[in-house]
Amino acid sequence: MPNFSLPDSVFLSAAEQFPTPFYLYDEKGLRENARALNAAFSWAPDFREYFAVKALPNPHILKIFREEGCGVDCSSECELLLAEMAGFSGDAIMFSANAMPPAEFDHARALNALINLDDISDIDLLAAHGGIPETVCVRFNPGGDFTLGNAIMGAPGESKYGWTREQLSLGLPQLKALGAKKFALHAFLASNTTDNSYYPKLSGILFDLGAALEKETGLELAFVNLSGGVGIPYRPGEKKADLAAIGEGVRREYQRVFGDPAHGKVAIKTELGRFMTGPDGWLLTHAVHEKKIYRDYIGVDACASNLMRPAMYGAYHHIHICGKRDAAADHLYDVTGCLCENNDKFAVERPLPRVDLGDLLVIHDAGAHGFSMGYQYNGRLRSAEVLYREDGQMQLIRRAETPEDYFATLV
């Protein structure tokens, strides 16, 4: 079920203070997500969530997660700069390499961040750019399909990420010869899944693999990084992931492979993005046009440059109309933006109550991979971001772009 934690009065009040479109984030909800995750893994040695910065790259949000004990997962120069801006350093930063300019290793090593290598060839690049640290994380790709029960959850064999099993046996001794003392394992095998067996199954694979590689290489396994992938219920009727059940499932696998976690030396890390911020961000937009041809269209003042997921993936985002939560959904609309692209639709043939011009539409579950995927196609500019603080204040945490911003890079 999409998140209906805020009353319409909050959305309406925000829309009185700031022109639409803009993103609204709920501080209380963000903190609750971090606390629920920390509680679910409180049994685990040295647990830490590294919030995936790409999901919501705003230092005000990162600071909230820092206060909740989280680190950050970065994979670009600018994401490292954001992490610094928000006060992170050292092992509170995970740097996940992936075909990026090798000089970015220099920056990550200067910050003393944890390094996650995407490929065996990264060993030489890292050695030349900042050197091999004591602990190196490596990303595993098991190939083939990844299944949970009868369901195919992902196709690692087609994914660009990670090392093969054979490469781990070759590369870890190379890292050891270059001075590494410990290794860590990471894998990301399913995206946006609310299936509570995902992390337990993934952890079992990585724990078994880590134990085997410890024996094989003589390196110590420092931690297992379960990465992102825990999903959120975008559609009505979908269930939330049950973090307590997920944490308990991972604990059982830990016990099976390493024994009692109370005496365990292998730490657990996660890099959730979507789960941490997705449900607690909304895109607010006004209905500004109505058009009736072969279908009924509602034109809004946001467009796919503000929220790309529906156009890019056909993703479902729930929409409600402020003041009409309980009205019958007896109209069928395509809700569209103003781009000259026919996929610029936030909803297609969506049952909604009657929409009147001037209505405030709330697009749900936009807090992750929403603003951050924005672009400027058609000369449409990125919107503002507003944080609804726990004390009731509406804090502007990013202003909307202006034409001057759009032209700033012209030579």
Ligand X SMILES: *Cc1c(COP(=O)(O)O)cnc(C)c1O
Q: Is 273 in the site for ligand X (CB under 6 A)?
A: yes
Residue span binding ligand X (CB under 6 A) among the ranges 7-15, 227-235, 282-290, 395-403? 227-235
Closest Cα to residue 37, out of 74, 6, 3, 68?
68
Residue span binding ligand X (CB under 6 A) among the ranges 10-18, 203-211, 226-234, 389-397? 226-234
Tell me the C-alpha to C-alpha distance, in Å, between residue 142 and each of 24, 168, 209, 221, 278: 39, 11, 11, 18, 28
- Distance CA(222)–CA(258), nearest Å, equals 12
Q: Is 55 in the site for ligand X (CB under 6 A)?
A: yes
Residue number with the smallest Cβ distance to ligand X: 228
Q: Is 171 in the site for ligand X (CB under 6 A)?
A: no
CB-nearer residue toward ligand X: 20 or 75: 75
- Distance CA(197)–CA(357), nearest Å, equals 45
Q: How would you class 16 by CB atoms within 10 Å of its CB: exposed for 0-12, middle for 13-18, buried for 19 or more?
A: exposed
- Distance CA(350)–CA(191), nearest Å, equals 25
Rounded to a whole number of angstroms, the minimum distance from the CB of residue 37 to ligand X is 11
Rounded to a whole number of angstroms, the minimum distance from the CB of residue 4 to ligand X is 22
Q: Is 188 in the site for ligand X (CB under 6 A)?
A: yes
Contacts of 291 (CB under 8 A, 6+ apart): 297, 299
CB-nearer residue toward ligand X: 167 or 191: 191
Half-sphere exposure of 312 (CA within 13 A, CB side): 12
Rounded to a whole number of angstroms, the minimum distance from the CB of residue 245 to ligand X is 18
Among 22, 34, 54, 58, binds ligand X (CB under 6 A): 54
Rounded to a whole number of angstroms, the minimum distance from the CB of residue 324 to ligand X is 31
Q: Is 33 in the site for ligand X (CB under 6 A)?
A: no
Tokens of 63: 């600071």
Closest Cα to residue 397, out of 406, 387, 382, 407?
387
Rounded to a whole number of angstroms, the minimum distance from the CB of residue 188 to ligand X is 6
Residues that bind ligand X (CB under 6 A): 52, 54-55, 73, 96, 188, 191-192, 227-229, 271-275, 368
